[in-house]
Amino acid sequence: MSTTVNTLVASDLDRTLIYSTAALDLRMPDAEAPRLLCVEVYESKPLSYVTETAAGLLTRLAADTVFVPTTTRTREQYHRIHLPGPAAEFAICANGGHLLVDGVSDPDWQRQVAARLADECASLDEVRAHLLAAADPAWLLKERIAEDLFAYLVVERTLLPEGWVKELAEWAEGRGWTVSLQGRKIYAVPQPLTKSAAVREVARRTGVEQILAAGDSLLDADLLLAADRAWRPGHGELADGGWTAPNTHVLQETGVAAGEEILRRFGLAATPPGA
């Protein structure tokens, strides 16, 4: 089966295509559980997985389309992942802050991002200071800066006060930032720093005619909206909020089964009629 080379597939990674042990969500008897392939090792321990079926689907997809891993991970975190199939020529890290070309960050894109951030939103220092002042040591586990572009907190979610994230989001919005709660992490990301902007740049460079996308978090919403067709799984921040869009298909599958289904949908959408 041949697929068109005029299709760009931009997909979030964590809890969209790849899954930690805690996120696998294997809703079946153990004897029926799918075989898993480890795609990430951290500190000598296996960390993230895809099913063997998903690995086959991804290998075919990456060979026949412009496949662009699109993640909020830093470059260092992204390079820990070894997806099946040919290495991606393009990848997007730090929520659009870095556009990798053959594994190396594109300096022209870095300059464009820096200019937008300087012109359109409050500084990282201001937002970081507010995060630390507002957080309670009783539930704050870690505080991190990613690529000198955005900040995030690792929290004990069960102790997080109701309404705290909403209050933070309202404060950040007035300063040109977005707040997203993903698992135990609370991200504060500049609004001009988007996956969709980086994907449009890859589309411009490659001259594709169709963009497909998938993601599960609020930070993926702009990516889904920018695509011709998009999918979101039945779990995650967007599912919890009931987020929908005319071009976005809502899947019922959750966990690693959703990763498989997303790849199936990508493959079908990238296949020309009659192929």
Q: 152-178 pLDDT, tens per residue?
A: 999 999 999 999 999 999 999 999 999
pLDDT band at 275 (very low <50, low <70, confident <90, very high): low
Q: Output the average pLDDT for the chain.
A: 95
Say which amino acid occupies 183. Answer: G
> What is the rounded CA–CA span in Å between residue 225 and residue 233?
15
Q: In the block, which residue shows the tokens 């507002």?
A: 134
Domains and CATH numbers, the chain: 7-113+193-270 (3.40.50.1000), 122-190 (3.90.1070)
> What is the rounded CA–CA span in Å between residue 183 and residue 233?
15
Q: 245-265 pLDDT, tens per residue?
A: 999 999 999 999 999 999 999
The answer, yes or no, to whether residue 272 has pLDDT greater than 70, is no
Q: 198-236 pLDDT, tens per residue?
A: 999 999 999 999 999 999 999 999 999 999 999 999 999
Q: What is the pTM of this model?
A: 0.92
pLDDT band at 183 (very low <50, low <70, confident <90, very high): confident
In sequence order, what are the residues at sequence separation of 6 or more whose Cβ sits closer than 8 angstroms to the Cβ of residue 75?
93, 94, 98, 100, 105, 147
pLDDT of residue 274: 54
Q: What percent of the chain has pLDDT over 90?
A: 94
pLDDT band at 27 (very low <50, low <70, confident <90, very high): confident
pLDDT of residue 3: 41
User: H or E segment at 164?
Assistant: helix 164-173
Among the ranges given (4-8, 65-69, 76-80), the one the predictor scored with the smallest mean pLDDT: 4-8
In this structure, which long-range contacts are made by residues 126-133, counting pairs with CB atoms below 8 Å and at least 24 apart in sequence? 126/175, 127/151, 127/172, 127/175, 127/177, 127/188, 128/188, 130/171, 131/168, 131/188
